């Protein structure tokens, strides 16, 4: 297999830069407090309870609030719309005491009725708003549908949630976007179209959405946390990363999300004054085998193809120093990571042998879906797909590469239309449950699935269920290590990489923090410190 060098060649830089020098220097906008954020793709919708993709939730996280939230730059829990909470001695009852005088963007009050409405619409099939989504993905993926026994109003400023069993990750789950509190008035008015007309209590309110172009948010002057420093945030979509790079270099945008490693080098050369912040991300990139289809139902085939892929070469050629090879489905920085598991060694001779033992001495033909957009865990999915395609060809497996528009891609993979698909995940809450349960439990292997390998090992599923009920972290960690060992043996994935995330910014941008869960928050951001 031939991959691009880890460094950027002079010829490559010349080619990239030649089209940049002639770009016009376009002003950022009329107001110095308007921030333009260049992202890799459009949102699927703006209902935080419906979607699981980062491009949707990054916008939603500025519009909506949750009862509890993550402290900036961490996965530690702090008060949100609930100023405090109590937990019963048996760990089953959580009582949330709400802030006073909080308003939604439409002027209606945020109270216990609104909180109960926001959560019950995802939980109770008889609720008036339950039918407004085909599936409340995260609520089910996180097991909330099986965990929650009751969601009740105690009084105007108090909400009680009763669980069927103790749940160690419950409070962290409640800080995730799907638990956002929405305006019941707006949901009742817009019904399914609430996803295009979002109303929350967050620091920014929705103004407009031009599909595949931009989402515009304005500061909410009555935000309970104080007045935002920015007057407006524009999320501008650039699915083509080269176009996004050109926009940043031409100073058309203040921030460029998800540059490739090569593009980071270009920015350092062409805009040396730009700030570039980097952090290890809580993520994983992977190839999921659809374990219900053809050859991929056989673990030997999956193990063989794990051995066929030169991950080190992919890391060097595509991630260029901004990633490490993945062994397990969770990043090594996360507690519960199994350090005793050895990766499948790159050995194409052994891969051919295993394929022959599995009944495919001459290989076979298949199809590999690859993402159409840059993601934090995979800056250039097409190049990753091409590298894998070449490696598979070397062991006799001929692969056709296929992609689709982002929303369609997500829908097709959730419904299992792929034989193999590239995908990835950025952790939401710092808990291994958010990776292993969401992505590999048999409970989440039914369409529309978050477990797009459709992997259903009942022993693994039971271990993950048990881990949710254990409150002692060391004991939970042992269970997660057991699950990783079984998953490694079954090989439903080829874990590819854990990436570092870079964010180039205009030097005017102040106060932006990269969040471990991939969220993009702009409440404390300003331009020139104003």
Task: Give the HSE-up count for residue 86: Cα atoms under 13 Å, Cβ half-sphere.
Answer: 7
Rounded Cα distance between 64 and 199, Å, is 7
CA 202 to chain CA centroid, Å, is 20
Architecture in CATH for domain 65-201 = Alpha-Beta Complex (3.90)
Q: pLDDT digit of tens for each residue in the chain (530 aa)? A: 333 333 333 333 333 344 333 333 334 444 569 999 999 889 999 999 999 899 999 999 999 999 999 999 888 999 999 999 999 999 999 999 999 999 999 999 999 999 999 999 999 999 999 999 988 989 998 999 999 999 999 999 999 999 999 999 999 999 999 999 999 999 999 999 999 999 999 999 999 999 999 999 999 999 999 999 999 999 999 988 899 999 999 999 999 998 988 899 999 999 999 999 988 779 999 999 999 999 999 999 999 999 999 999 999 999 987 899 999 999 998 999 999 999 999 999 999 999 999 999 999 999 999 999 888 899 899 999 999 999 999 999 999 999 999 999 999 999 999 999 999 999 989 999 999 999 999 999 999 999 999 999 999 999 999 999 998 999 999 999 999 999 999 999 999 999 988 999 999 999 999 998 889 999 999 998 55
Helix 348-357 vs helix 299-308: crossing angle, to nearest 10: 160
CA 283 to chain CA centroid, Å, is 8
Which residues partner with 248 through β-bridges? Answer: none
Tell me the pairing of strands 34-39 and 255-256: parallel
State the SS3 of 68-101: EEECCCCCCEEECCEEEEEECCCCCEEEEEECCC
Q: Which CATH superfamily is domain 10-39+206-274+506-527 in?
A: Periplasmic binding protein-like II (3.40.190.10)
Sign (positive or negative) of CA dihedral 296, 401, 373, 317: positive
Rounded Cα distance between 492 and 482, Å, is 16
Domain positions in the chain are 10-39+206-274+506-527, 65-201, 283-501
Which residues partner with 510 through β-bridges? Answer: 526
Rounded Cα distance between 180 and 203, Å, is 13
Closest CA to 4 of 501, 390, 400: 390
CATH no., domain 283-501:
3.10.105.10
């Amino acid at each position: 297999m031939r991959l691009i060098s880890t460094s950027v060649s002079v010829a490559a830089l010349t080619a990239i830069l030649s089209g940049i020098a002639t770009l016009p220097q376009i002003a950022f906008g009329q107001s110095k407090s308007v921030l333009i954020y260049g992202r890799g793709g459009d949102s699927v919708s703006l209902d935080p309870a419906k979607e699981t993709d980062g491009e949707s939730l990054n916008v939603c996280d500025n519009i909506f609030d949750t009862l509890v939230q993550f402290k900036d730059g961490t996965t530690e829990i702090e008060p949100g719309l609930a100023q405090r909470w109590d937990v019963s001695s048996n760990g089953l009852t959580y009582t949330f005491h709400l802030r006073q005088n909080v308003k939604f963007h439409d002027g209606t009050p945020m109270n216990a009725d609104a909180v109960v409405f926001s959560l019950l619409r995802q939980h109770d099939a008889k609720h008036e708003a339950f039918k407004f989504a085909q599936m409340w993905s995260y609520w089910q993926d996180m097991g909330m549908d099986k965990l929650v026994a009751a969601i009740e109003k105690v009084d105007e400023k108090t909400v009680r949630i009763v669980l069927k069993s103790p749940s160690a990750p419950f409070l962290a789950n409640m800080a995730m976007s799907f638990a956002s509190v929405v305006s019941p008035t707006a949901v009742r008015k817009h019904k399914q179209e609430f996803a295009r007309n979002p109303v929350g209590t967050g620091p920014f309110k929705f103004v407009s959405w031009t599909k595949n172009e931009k989402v515009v948010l304005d500061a909410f002057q009555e935000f309970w946390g104080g007045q935002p420093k920015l007057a407006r945030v524009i999320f501008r979509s650039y699915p083509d990363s080269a176009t996004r790079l050109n926009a940043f270099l031409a100073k058309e945008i203040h921030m460029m999300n998800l540059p490739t490693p090569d593009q980071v080098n270009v920015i350092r050369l062409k805009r040396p004054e730009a700030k570039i912040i980097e952090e290890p991300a809580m993520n994983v990139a992977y190839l999921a085998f659809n374990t219900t289809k053809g050859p991929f139902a056989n673990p030997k085939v999956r193990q063989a193809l794990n051995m066929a892929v030169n991950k080190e070469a992919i890391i060097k050629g595509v991630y260029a120093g901004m990633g490490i090879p993945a062994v397990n489905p969770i990043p090594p920085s996360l507690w519960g990571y199994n350090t005793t598991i050895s990766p499948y060694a790159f050995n194409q001779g052994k891969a051919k042998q295993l394929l022959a033992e599995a009944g495919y001495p001459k290989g076979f033909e298949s199809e590999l879906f690859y993402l159409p957009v840059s993601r934090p865990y995979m800056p250039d999915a097409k190049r990753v797909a091409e590298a894998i395609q070449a490696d598979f060809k070397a062991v006799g497996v001929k692969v056709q590469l296929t992609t689709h528009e982002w929303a369609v891609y997500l829908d097709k993979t959730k419904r299992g239309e792929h034989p193999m698909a590239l995908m990835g995940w950025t952790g939401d809450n710092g808990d291994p449950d958010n990776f292993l349960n969401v992505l590999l439990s048999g409970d989440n292997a039914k369409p529309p699935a978050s477990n797009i390998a459709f992997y259903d090992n009942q022993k693994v599923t039971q271990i993950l269920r048990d881990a949710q009920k254990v409150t002692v972290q060391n004991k939970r960690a042992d269970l997660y290590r057991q699950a990783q060992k079984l998953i490694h043996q079954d090989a439903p994935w080829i874990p590819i990489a854990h990436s570092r995330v870079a964010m180039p910014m205009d030097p005017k941008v102040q106060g932006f923090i990269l969040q471990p869960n991939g969220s993009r928050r702009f409440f404390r951001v300003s331009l020139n410190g104003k």
